[in-house]
A and B are shown apart, each in its own frame.
Chain A
């Protein structure tokens, strides 16, 4: 059958020694970039673009694609080990992944992340092979109102991310959105909250915020904890997930893969939402949601799979329609053009070796990443055994260099320091960083799509309800709000009754 022939073609192309080598180089570079905070896949791809001149089109794309999803794997590693999200999609991994590490389950966490990602990669690659064209239609059916509703759902879901006070979580989300608005306003070109600083005119960088309020703050928190108690950090247990953990991960991995595959299709923001959506779903489905935020394995397995699935399916709009879903895809489009290929709906038909070769190599790349990362777990875990007084300065240095390497800007570093200082204050008053970071990521898109929808809808707010997808998403949002608010009331009612 046709699919089979195409896959055979793809694997024969991807399996050539040169392409295998390029795939390996790509995923290794990607992992390194993901592990090191600071430079991300966009920066790395931009720098490596000239190298692609010397490669064949297929080879170039295989390598660059490998860097992209390799970075996803690497970003999860630092998220779990030191609470530093390398990519915006790794923020959720910090929540339970890092808590697992603090409980001595780092090896298990890393293993589950790798295995879940591999499963997701395999399934989503199959999905692309089978349904690329119809799925691309999904990408086209999302207009500004749909994006707004989706992002609103994501923001409301962010409240679910917090394990503490809901009011404070909402406050952090709102504050995060405000931070995201700093910079040039897309619709009117006005410079907002920039105080005339050229650095701020481009907006606050995600890396700066995340490194500061999550990475460096975590250093402060660790030191503070050690001051408070003299207990030794719990012994690191086996490197492999326990049977219960493995069983508990199965559902989340499958669900995460599905969510991620769908969300990854949406250009401009879908992939990021995948991990948040999965976390929200798992927390709401769990029998005992209070475990989340404290090392619940479902909170790691689901989002990690969703992450990777989203990264793979985000190739679809680019490969089938020539529409890049994010900056990384745009660079891949550029690489294609340099090679003499005009991306667009024709590529699939006119260049089947390229199309299917890339798809096949995605699976190969995922397999390589699994093989590379699993043995590394032992290495990472033994790093954690280093006494903190020696480890902490190293982490601080990595944060500093990483933050500096984004724009070589000193003001970025000041921001990191400032966010770290602020991050500790927030922690002391019971506010969590993750909702703020999510607000920061989704906020600008939310505002942009809101304003666009209002213009397109001629000022009629009903536009959000008149369109089926948007209506469905908003209904889900309302349901989610109920889910969040009702238990709260029930609890306080219980407390009241207890007092009587």
Chain B
């Protein structure tokens, strides 16, 4: 055995060891969400996780870390090793505002976490109960401004997107509403149909079949343009003098400090999974538009969102 042979053998083996280390993921992956089992986000993430597991051949589990208004889920991922094996799936809620509140918290989506890709987006719609008797947003705003006792809006928990959207509308439209919380968007719709709350801003997917069956009244869509499925519903901007536009989305984040190659690989793997039959079906049926943008593009979306919601912080 001479020295040269040894060196050659080592040189030949080296690429093999390097590519082994490069293989991502190299162990079980955890995807963390702040919703409980059975929630819309939970089902969506489980479908994605199942496809990822098939692709990666590594166990990919979904961890439900509810409570603390998202802070537990965020904190868990922010503090995890930045090797891409712990991922957060996040949708806009109060912790978007946390960045401005407490820049040192380190667990929020601006400071402690790095965006990977945006999964989907979905327009929201402003709906009221039929018995309220208003047929467009302008009438509603009039009613709201002149009401002696503020009218009631429903949401699925303080700080969630339903709540934030409604608060934004209150600020933009110049009127007051009283908040009432339920466990889920479905419960809010049930409350609308039961005449218990007056108005709510929910995702279009959840409300579609009820609007079509005339069980609730859609006043306006909350996005910047009209929706293709409901061309007759005006946008909020058309109805009243406002630049109100909100959207619901979900995206993946990893802890700060995760290497770029891993982020990029995560991005392409997730985008690939978003194209599979089961995930596509689920998302489209839920009323979502699939996005799958790049980390840089997503980072811009997040920054825009933080700006968008700034009005609520003051």
Seen from chain A, the residues whose Cβ lies within 8 Å of a Cβ on chain B are 42-43, 46, 49-50, 53, 139-144, 183-184, 186-189, 191, 198, 201-203, 267-268, 322-324, 326-328, 330-331, 333-334, 337-346, 452, 455-456, 458
Say whether B68 contacts A330, CB under 8 Å: no
**B190 contacts chain A at the CB level, 8 A cutoff:** yes
Say whether B149 contacts A330, CB under 8 Å: no
Given contacts A42-B37, A334-B43, contact A187 B190 (CB under 8 A): no
Say whether A337 contacts B194, CB under 8 Å: no
Shortest 5 CB-CB contacts between residues of A and residues of B: A344-B209, A334-B43, A50-B50, A201-B67, A327-B38
Contact stretch, chosen from B98-106, B246-254, B258-266, B279-287: B279-287
**B187 contacts chain A at the CB level, 8 A cutoff:** yes
Residue of A nearest to B284 (CB): A340
Cβ–Cβ < 8 Å partners of A334 in chain B = 38, 40, 42-44, 46-47, 282
Contact stretch, chosen from B19-27, B133-141, B151-159, B298-306: B151-159
| Apart from A46-B46, A140-B190, A330-B43: 11 A-B pairs, beta carbons within 8 A | A50-B50, A202-B65, A268-B187, A324-B38, A327-B37, A331-B43, A334-B46, A337-B281, A338-B281, A339-B281, A346-B209
| Residue interface mask B272-314, A partner, CB < 8 A = 1 | 0000011001100110000000000000000000000000000
Residue of A nearest to B68 (CB): A201
CB A287 to nearest CB in B, in angstroms, measures 41
Can you sample 14 A-B contacts with CB below 8 Å?
Answer: A49-B43, A53-B278, A140-B193, A144-B196, A184-B66, A184-B69, A187-B181, A322-B209, A327-B38, A331-B43, A337-B43, A340-B285, A345-B209, A456-B180
Bound Cα distance A344, B193 (Å):
14
**B186 contacts chain A at the CB level, 8 A cutoff:** yes
Residue of A nearest to B186 (CB): A323
Say whether B38 contacts A46, CB under 8 Å: yes
Set B42, B186, B190, B285: member contacting A46, Cβ < 8 A? B42
Say whether A344 contacts B210, CB under 8 Å: yes
Set A144, A186, A456: member contacting B157, Cβ < 8 A? A186
Say whether A189 contacts B158, CB under 8 Å: yes
**B257 contacts chain A at the CB level, 8 A cutoff:** no
Given contacts A188-B158, A202-B67, A337-B286, contact A331 B281 (CB under 8 A): no
Bound Cα distance A50, B49 (Å):
9
Say whether A327 contacts B189, CB under 8 Å: no
Seen from chain B, the residues whose Cβ lies within 8 Å of a Cβ on chain A are 36-40, 42-44, 46-47, 49-50, 53, 62, 65-69, 72, 149, 152, 157-159, 178, 180-184, 186-187, 189-191, 193-197, 208-210, 212-213, 215, 277-278, 281-282, 285-286
Bound Cα distance A341, B208 (Å):
13
Say whether A340 contacts B281, CB under 8 Å: yes
Bound Cα distance A42, B209 (Å):
26
CB A267 to nearest CB in B, in angstroms, measures 7
Cβ–Cβ < 8 Å partners of B196 in chain A = 143-144, 452, 456
Bound Cα distance A337, B41 (Å):
13
Bound Cα distance A458, B150 (Å):
10
Cβ–Cβ < 8 Å partners of A345 in chain B = 209-210, 213, 215
CB A244 to nearest CB in B, in angstroms, measures 43
Cβ–Cβ < 8 Å partners of B62 in chain A = 46
Cβ–Cβ < 8 Å partners of A50 in chain B = 46-47, 49-50, 53
CB B281 to nearest CB in A, in angstroms, measures 4
CB A222 to nearest CB in B, in angstroms, measures 34
Residue of A nearest to B207 (CB): A344
Given contacts A140-B193, A189-B159, A455-B180, contact A327 B36 (CB under 8 A): yes
Cβ–Cβ < 8 Å partners of A140 in chain B = 190, 193-194
Cβ–Cβ < 8 Å partners of A46 in chain B = 37-38, 42, 46, 62
Residue of A nearest to B61 (CB): A47
Bound Cα distance A187, B187 (Å):
14
Residue of B nearest to A332 (CB): B38
CB B108 to nearest CB in A, in angstroms, measures 16
Cβ–Cβ < 8 Å partners of A338 in chain B = 43, 47, 278, 281-282
Bound Cα distance A186, B156 (Å):
9
Set B38, B53, B182: member contacting A42, Cβ < 8 A? B38
Cβ–Cβ < 8 Å partners of B53 in chain A = 50
CB B287 to nearest CB in A, in angstroms, measures 8
Cβ–Cβ < 8 Å partners of A330 in chain B = 38-40, 43, 184, 186
Cβ–Cβ < 8 Å partners of B68 in chain A = 184, 191, 198, 201
Bound Cα distance A323, B209 (Å):
11
Say whether B67 contacts A49, CB under 8 Å: no
Bound Cα distance A452, B194 (Å):
14
CB A317 to nearest CB in B, in angstroms, measures 9
Residue of B nearest to A46 (CB): B37
CB B215 to nearest CB in A, in angstroms, measures 8
Say whether A202 contacts B66, CB under 8 Å: yes
CB B35 to nearest CB in A, in angstroms, measures 10
Say whether B194 contacts A142, CB under 8 Å: yes
Cβ–Cβ < 8 Å partners of B208 in chain A = 342, 344
Cβ–Cβ < 8 Å partners of A142 in chain B = 194
Bound Cα distance A204, B37 (Å):
16
Set A141, A203, A324, A331: member contacting B194, Cβ < 8 A? A141
Say whether A201 contacts B72, CB under 8 Å: yes
Given contacts A50-B50, A339-B281, A346-B213, contact A455 B194 (CB under 8 A): no
Cβ–Cβ < 8 Å partners of B38 in chain A = 42, 46, 324, 326-328, 330-331, 334
CB B269 to nearest CB in A, in angstroms, measures 17
CB B298 to nearest CB in A, in angstroms, measures 24
Cβ–Cβ < 8 Å partners of B282 in chain A = 334, 337-338
CB B73 to nearest CB in A, in angstroms, measures 10
Cβ–Cβ < 8 Å partners of A203 in chain B = 67
Residue of A nearest to B158 (CB): A189
Bound Cα distance A345, B207 (Å):
11
Bound Cα distance A339, B280 (Å):
10
Say whether A456 contacts B69, CB under 8 Å: no
Bound Cα distance A323, B38 (Å):
13
CB A290 to nearest CB in B, in angstroms, measures 40
Bound Cα distance A343, B159 (Å):
27
Bound Cα distance A338, B44 (Å):
9
Cβ–Cβ < 8 Å partners of A53 in chain B = 47, 50, 277-278
CB A36 to nearest CB in B, in angstroms, measures 18
CB A184 to nearest CB in B, in angstroms, measures 5
Say whether A331 contacts B37, CB under 8 Å: yes
Bound Cα distance A202, B69 (Å):
10
Cβ–Cβ < 8 Å partners of B49 in chain A = 50
Residue of A nearest to B53 (CB): A50
Say whether B69 contacts A189, CB under 8 Å: yes
Say whether B178 contacts A49, CB under 8 Å: no
Say whether A455 contacts B152, CB under 8 Å: yes
Say whether A323 contacts B281, CB under 8 Å: no
Given contacts A201-B67, A458-B149, contact A268 B183 (CB under 8 A): yes
Cβ–Cβ < 8 Å partners of B40 in chain A = 330, 334
Residue of A nearest to B206 (CB): A322
Bound Cα distance A143, B192 (Å):
10
Cβ–Cβ < 8 Å partners of B209 in chain A = 322, 342-346
Cβ–Cβ < 8 Å partners of B277 in chain A = 53
Bound Cα distance A338, B282 (Å):
4
